Amino acid sequence: MILCNPEKISSLFSEHKDKALYGIIAAVDVSESMKKKVLKSGLYLAVIRDDTFCLDGPADFKPKRFN
C-alpha cells in the first residue's frame, strides 16, 4: 500500500493543487470485511470482475476528500 501526504502531492503536482484529492484501493480479490473497511475509510474500491475493472460500492457512497 502506498500512502502519501496531500501537501506533498500538491507540491509535486502544483498544476493540480486546487483540485479535489480522493483515494482509491485497487484489488483483484477482496473480502467483504476489507471492502467495508475501505469504504468506511472513504476510499474508492476498484476491483476486477470478468476481465473488467470497475468501482465497487453502494450507489450512495460518499468518498472522503483528502485536501
In this structure, is residue 43 part of a structural domain?
yes
Domains held by the chain: number = 1
In this structure, is residue 1 part of a structural domain?
no
In this structure, is residue 17 part of a structural domain?
yes
In this structure, is residue 62 part of a structural domain?
no
In this structure, is residue 66 part of a structural domain?
no
The whole-model pTM stands at 0.80
In this structure, is residue 23 part of a structural domain?
yes
H-type helices in 13-60, by residue range? Answer: 32-40
3-54 pLDDT tens trace: 677 788 888 888 988 899 899 999 998 999 999 999 999 999 999 888 888 9
Contact 24, 1 (CB under 8 A): no
CB neighbours (10 Å) of residue 45? 21
